[in-house]
Amino acid sequence: MNPRDILRHELIGLFVEVVDAKNPYLKGIKGRVIDETRNLLIVEKENGKIVKIPKDICVFIFHLDKCKVKVLGELLIGRPEERLKKKFKIIYPY
C-alpha cells in the first residue's frame, strides 16, 4: 500500500488519528480501525474503548509503514468496494 492509492485499499487494521473535525470531541482520537461502514470508521482506542467516527465531518491521518497520509473524510464515504470505482485526485503524503 502506498500513499497515492490509500483510498482504494482496505482501511481496517491501519492506525488512524483524527486531526480535524466539526465536532470538537472527535478531534484527537487515535487508534486502530477495526471496522468500516458506509459513513463510519469504527476505531479501537489505545485504552480499549471502541469509538464510532463519522467520515464526512473529519480529517484523518492514516499511518502507513513508512509515512503518514492526510485524507479528507468526505473522500472515504461509501463502502470500500464502491471506492474502487471512483476516480480521485492524487493524495500526497503528510
Instruction: Tell me, yes or no, whether 61 lies in a domain.
Output: yes
* 64 grid coordinates: 502507513
Using 50, 70 and 90 to split pLDDT, how confident is the model at 4?
confident
Instruction: Tell me, yes or no, whether 58 lies in a domain.
Output: yes
* 49 grid coordinates: 474503548
Instruction: Tell me, yes or no, whether 60 lies in a domain.
Output: yes
The pLDDT value given to residue 88: 57
Instruction: Tell me, yes or no, whether 75 lies in a domain.
Output: yes
Instruction: Tell me, yes or no, whether 88 lies in a domain.
Output: no
Instruction: Tell me, yes or no, whether 28 lies in a domain.
Output: yes
Task: List, for residues 45-74, the tens digit of each pLDDT value.
Answer: 999 999 999 999 999 999 988 889 999 998
Is residue 93 scored above 80 in pLDDT? Answer: no
Q: What is the pTM of this model?
A: 0.84
d(CA 12, CA 74): 17
The CATH number assigned to the domain holding 39 equals 2.30.30.210
d(CA 93, CA 76): 16
Instruction: Tell me, yes or no, whether 29 lies in a domain.
Output: yes
The residue range of the domain holding 56 is 3-81
Task: List, for residues 21-32, the tens digit of each pLDDT value.
Answer: 999 999 999 999
Instruction: Tell me, yes or no, whether 22 lies in a domain.
Output: yes
How far does the chain reach from its first CA to its final CA, in angstroms?
A: 15
Domain count, the chain: 1
